[in-house]
Chain A
Amino acid sequence: MRPTPALAVALAAMMLVSMTIGAASVDLVHAFGDPRTMLVLLESRLPRTLAVALTGAALAVAGVLIQALVRNRFVGPDTAGTAEGAALGLLAITILWPASPLWLRMVAASVSAMATTALFIAIIRRLPVREVMLVPIAGLVLSGVLGSVVTFIGWQTDLMQYIGTWLFSGEFSGVISGRYELLWIAGGAAVLAWFAADRFAIIGLGDQVATGLGLGTRAVLRLGLAVVAVVTAMVVTTVGMIPFVGLVVPNIVARIMGDNLRRTLPVVALSGAVLVMACDLAGRLVIHPYEVPAGLILGGVGSVLFLWLLYRRPRHG
Chain B
Amino acid sequence: MIRIDGVSHRIGKAPILHDITTHLPEGRLTALIGPNGAGKSTLLRLIGRLEPLQQGRVSVAGRDIAATPTEDLARVMAILGQQTSIASRLRLSELVGFGRWPHHRGRPTAHDHARVAEALEAFALTPMADRFLDEVSGGQAQRAHIAMAFAQDTDWLLLDEPLNNLDMAHARALMGRLRDLVDRQGRSVGLVVHEINYAAAWADHVIAMKDGRIVAEGSANEVLTEDVLSDLYDAPIAVASHQGRPLVLHHV
Contacts and interface: CB of A to CB of B under 8 A. Distances in A.
Contacts of A215: 70-71, 101
Contacts of B85: 316
Interface in A161-176: none
Contacts of B71: 214-216
Nearest to A263: B94
Contacts of B83: 208
B88 interface: yes
B79 interface: yes
Interface string A196-214: 0010011011111101111
A198 B106 contact: yes
Interface residues of A, number: 27
A207 B106 CA distance: 19
Contacts of A213: 74, 98-99, 101-102, 152
16 contacts: A71-B88, A202-B101, A207-B50, A208-B45, A211-B48, A211-B49, A211-B50, A212-B50, A213-B101, A213-B102, A214-B74, A216-B70, A258-B91, A260-B94, A315-B134, A316-B87
Nearest to B97: A260
Contact of A205 (B45, B74, B86, B134): B86
B75 interface: yes
Contacts of A202: 98, 101
Interface string A139-161: 00000000000000000000000
Given A202-B101, A260-B91, A314-B89, 13 more contacts: A71-B88, A73-B87, A204-B87, A208-B45, A211-B50, A211-B70, A213-B101, A213-B102, A214-B70, A258-B132, A259-B89, A316-B85, A316-B87
Interface residues of B, number: 35
A291 B134 CA distance: 43
Interface in B180-235: none
A208 B98 contact: no
A220 interface: no
Interface in B21-79: 45, 48-50, 69-75, 78-79
B118 to A, nearest CB: 18
Interface of A: 71-73, 198, 201-202, 204-209, 211-216, 254-255, 258-260, 314-317
A259 B50 contact: no
A202 B104 CA distance: 14
A316 B134 contact: yes
Most buried by A among B85, B88, B106: B88
A214 B75 contact: yes
Most buried by B among A72, A209, A215, A317: A209
B81 interface: yes
B72 to A, nearest CB: 7
Contacts of A73: 87
B117 interface: no
Contacts of B175: none
Contact of A212 (B74, B94, B135): B74
Contacts of B90: 201, 205, 258-260
Interface string B90-134: 110011001101100010000000000000000000000000101
Contacts of B74: 212-214
Most buried by B among A73, A198, A208: A208
B114 to A, nearest CB: 19
A208 B41 CA distance: 13
Nearest to A260: B94
Contacts of A204: 87-88
A140 to B, nearest CB: 20
A212 B48 contact: yes
Contacts of B102: 213-214
A299 B242 CA distance: 69
A316 B69 CA distance: 35
Nearest to A199: B106
B81 A212 contact: yes
Contacts of B45: 208
A198 B101 contact: yes
A258 B98 contact: no
Contacts of A212: 48, 50, 74, 78-81, 149
Contacts of B69: 214
Contact of A258 (B73, B87, B94, B149): B94
A173 B179 CA distance: 68
Nearest to B73: A214
Contacts of B88: 71, 201, 204-205, 258-259
Nearest to B80: A212
Contacts of A216: 70-71
Given A258-B91, A260-B91, A208 B50 contact: yes
